Structure 1
Amino acid sequence: MAGAAEAALLLTWGANSYGQLGLGHKNDVLVPEELEDFPVCLLSIRSITGGGGHSAITTGDGQVLSCGCNSFGQLGLPWVSRSCQIPQQIEAFAEKVVHVAAGLRHALAATEGGLVFQWGTGMASQAKRACRGKMISSFLAAKEPCVVTGLEDVKVKRVTAGSYHSVSLTDGVLYVWGSNKHGQLASQEVFIAEPQKIEAHVFSGEKVEEVWSGWTHLVAKTETAKVFTWGRADYGQLGRSIQEGQVQVLPDAPDTCAQHTWSIPISLPCLTGASQIACGSEHNLAVTGSQCYSWGWNEHGMCGNGTEKNVHSPKPIRALHSAKPVLIGCGAGHSMTLCETRRQTLQK
């Protein structure tokens, strides 16, 4: 008699010039492609994420695997000089990792005990300029996982990262550090050297339950399942239209903070209740019901719709219509989803 057995697929697509898709080659992929012979059981995977040219995965037993570019130490693999095309385990953690995030040239991890680690030197040059000759924190210039100072009195549950900034989430509260050029950290400072709290009034007094980050935009879901987006919108990455004057930046001033209007989160009704969201550099994925949606920058096909045209509002990915998304992740120009399928087996 025929029965069904659960199986899992790990699929990646988009930009792949450093092997960040983990497929063993460096060719761009326009539609989802399955990773074969993965080094751990796919059903044990708990989170997947991508950065500028690197990806990271966590498992149920607290392992972290990474692949792609390592020119700035962003893989946390000191024995890898430039890049690797197959995921490898980071061995520097003394306790289980529960969440991981990847920025442009850095990465973050939150452990079971609530600590946050950061590695990769992508934020170091901006930190040195902003600190004007003062010593910068070790975690801003580490090529292996290093504890982030300033969070000793809180227990972090989740982390996320942008191009040159980092975000952590405790019990309903966001802490941010790094570059604030576009006001994405809800502060008037140009660079925040150590974790700084974002007050609840920014989200209409609600607690934040989840947070995600693009290069210079952020997305947060509150306790009532409202989804807020704020930051840049050049490629449709906010999933909504922007009124003239709502988003402005001081021209030709790379080291100055954007005007305060950039840092005002606004809710996006069409995503209310989304179970998962992931941000790439300028594109996003979301799971609503049993469908996976994408929107934003699409130059490398990372929206998964078979084209390279930008998508300005959330649209379902038709290539995934027969599979139920379990986990999603985005890199700068690539996307990933772990899908649940039903495969027929013979039953004795």
Structure 2
Amino acid sequence: MPNYELLCFGSNGNGQLGVGHDDDLILPQISFQSAGAGIKKVACGGNHSLLLLEDGSLYWSGENTSGQCDSSGTKRSFNWVRLPGNFLDVACGWEVTVVVDSDGWVRTRGRGDKGELGVPQLKRSDEWMYLFQCVDPGAAQCYATFQHCLVVVPEKIYGWGNNRKLQVCEDSSSKIIDTPTVVYEGDTANTIVALGKDFTCIINKNENRMKLMGPLAKEIPKITSGLPNGVKSIVTADSMWSSLHILNDEKRLISVGRGLHGQFLEGSLPSDVVKFVTGSEHGIIVTKKMEVLCWGWGEHGNCGSLNSKETNHINDKSNVISPINLIGKYDNVSKIFGGCATTWIVLQHEA
């Protein structure tokens, strides 16, 4: 039976790394260990984190001042606290948590001044709000960013939240979408979703179709010019708050948006990249050699130290704008996740 270990570093001012204190980290530290049940997902809000295991158990750490994690009244926790229930997916906005539970219910909680709770005129709830029930719960996936949320179900994608820049839907008369609204229809079986602070990218690889909403929509010609074989050459895509990054089959990143703090990688990625994700303003990759590398805006330590002999885990702000940087080489990196100036590495160990 394999064992799993979650390493993390970066922003930790409210305890959102789950390591027992609130110091920002510049070197990876063990946050969570699991025997048997794999780590399915880490979802990060502005100052809170949710940890979902493969067995459906869900944990939280960090800020809970708006009830975005539980109803205990606890303002914050520096350690992981288990939530009651069984869950299939989780995502976090700035102060909102979105889940799909084992019965297929899409639920939200926390604070959402721009409709992020998905309930008309409701701006805060420290209890779960039940939005709608998915017919095929196992196929549902939820996404969230600063102030808007999406849920993907077979043949449809629902969205809600801040629409001031048309990042949820193209109805310019609706600045706030405060109820789940269909924003995409079609095959969703092989769809990539990437949410930035004020844009949404939906790529349907089966139908060779891209939908980009928000200010970045004007960048579509620049994106497609970097894809000589069309959308089919996209391996994956992910977004930082202010930029979209598409990895093509030549292992080249096509980046559009803002890159003022090192978010746009200079030069090519290593040819043996096997995993790529982004955090709020930084990138993370894993190579076939199980090397983890980061780059981008690392003011909270989330891109690691440039000093290979560094032993102090606490962030000394020595790597604020980071070139591509080797974090470490491991035996088996099963997953990586990026949060709001946080980096997460899941290691799998055979018992």
Within the alignment, does 1:337 sit opposite 2:319 as a pair?
Answer: no
- Is 1:111 aligned with 2:112? no
Separation of aligned partners in 2, 1:326 and 1:200: 32
Which residue number corresponds to residue 191 of structure 1?
176
C-alpha distance in 1 between matches for 2:176 and 2:48: 24
Cα distance in structure 1, aligned partners of 2:181 and 2:191 = 18
Q: Which residue in the other structure is 2:74 paired with? A: 81
The sequence identity of aligned pairs, in percent, is 20
Contact 1:284–1:294, Cα closer than 8 Å, also in 2: yes
Cα deviation code 1:173-206 (max 9, x no counterpart): 43211012344325344221222233369xxx88
**RMSD between superposed Cα atoms in Å:** 3.8
1:90 corresponds to 2:86: no
Task: Specify the code of the residue in structure 2 equivalent to 1:57.
Answer: L
Other-structure match for 2:213: none
Return closer, same or farther for 1:183/1:299 CA change in 2, 3 Å cut-off.
Answer: farther
- Cα gap change, 1:233/1:325 in structure 2, threshold over 3 Å: closer, same or farther? same
2:328 to 297, 316, 320: 320
Q: Is the 8 A contact 1:100 1:109 kept in 2?
A: yes
Residue 308 of structure 1 aligns with which residue?
319
CA offsets per residue over residues 109-128 of structure 1, 9 Å max, x none? Answer: 1123332111111x1x2349
Q: Does 1:9 align with 2:5?
A: yes
Please give the secondary structure, in 2, of the residue aligned with 1:20. coil
* Partner of residue 159, structure 2: 176
Q: Which residue of 2 aligns with 1:213?
A: 195
SS of 2:103's equivalent in the other structure is: coil
Contact 2:2–2:36 (CA<8 Å) still a contact in 1?
A: no
Counterpart contact for 2:239–2:245, Cα < 8 Å: no
Amino acid of the residue matched to residue 23 of structure 2? N
Partner of 1:136: 120
The answer to whether the 8 A contact 2:2-2:35 is kept is: no
The answer on whether the counterparts of 1:273 and 1:288 sit within 8 Å (CA) in structure 2 is yes
Shift of 1:170: 1.4
CA distance in 2, matches of 1:274, 1:97: 31
TM-score for both structures, normalised by structure 1: 0.70
Greater relative contact order (Cα < 8 A, sep 6+): 1
Look up the equivalent residue of 1:120 and give its one-letter code. G
- The residue that corresponds to 1:52 in the other structure is 46
Per-residue Cα deviation, 1:297-344 (whole angstroms, up to 9, x for no partner): 3221213354534458xx4x522323432122222121111113468x
Paired amino acid for 2:152: L
Number of the residue aligned with 2:128: 145
Partner of 2:262: none
| Alignment partner of 1:102 is 2:92 | yes
**1:73-103 per-position Cα deviation (integer Å, ceiling 9, x unaligned):** 111x211431000100112x3xx31111111
Query: What residue identity is the alignment partner of 1:308?
Result: N
The answer to whether the 8 Å contact 2:4/2:35 transfers is no
Matched to 2:284, the amino acid is: L
Partners in 1 of 2:35 and 2:350 — Cα distance?
Answer: 17
Residue correspondence of structure 1 range 121-270 to structure 2 within 5 A: 121=111, 123=112, 125-127=113-115, 136=120, 141-149=124-132, 155=137, 157-171=140-154, 173-189=156-172, 190-199=175-184, 208-218=190-200, 222-223=204-205, 226-228=235-237, 233=242, 240-242=254-256
For these two proteins, the number of residue pairs brought into alignment is 293
Query: Tell me, which stretches of 5 or more residues in structure 2 are unaligned?
Result: 206-231, 247-252, 259-267, 307-317
Matches of 1:22 and 1:188, distance apart in 2: 40
Structure 1 residues 72 and 272: alpha-carbon distance in aligned structure 2, compared to 1, 3 A threshold: farther
3-state secondary structure, aligned to 2:327:
helix
**Cα distance in 1, alignment partners of residues 63 and 134 from structure 2:** 31
Find the residue that maps to 1:320 and give its secondary structure: strand
Cα 1:152/1:99, change in 2 over 3 Å: closer
Paired residues of 2:196 and 2:242 also in contact (CA < 8 A): no
Q: CA deviation at 1:41?
A: 3.2
* Inter-partner Cα distance in structure 1 for 2:292 and 2:201: 17
Specify which structure has the higher proportion of strand.
Answer: 2
46-55 or 108-117, which moves further after superposition? 108-117
Asked if 1 retains the 8 angstrom alpha-carbon contact of 2:188 and 2:204, the reply is yes
On the 8 A contact 2:240/2:281 being kept in 1, the answer is no
Structure 1: tracts of 5 or more residues without a match: 248-268, 344-348
User: Given residue 179 of structure 1, which amino acid in structure 2 is its aligned partner?
Assistant: N
Query: In the aligned structure 1, how far is the partner of 2:81 from the partner of 2:284?
Result: 25
Of 52, 58, 72 in structure 1, the residue corresponding to residue 66 of structure 2 is 72
What is aligned with 1:260? none
Whichever residue aligns with residue 29 of structure 1, its letter is L
Question: Contact (CA 8 Å) 2:7, 2:345: kept in 1 or not?
Answer: yes
Counterpart of 2:298?
Answer: 298
Equivalent residue of 1:319, what SS? Answer: strand
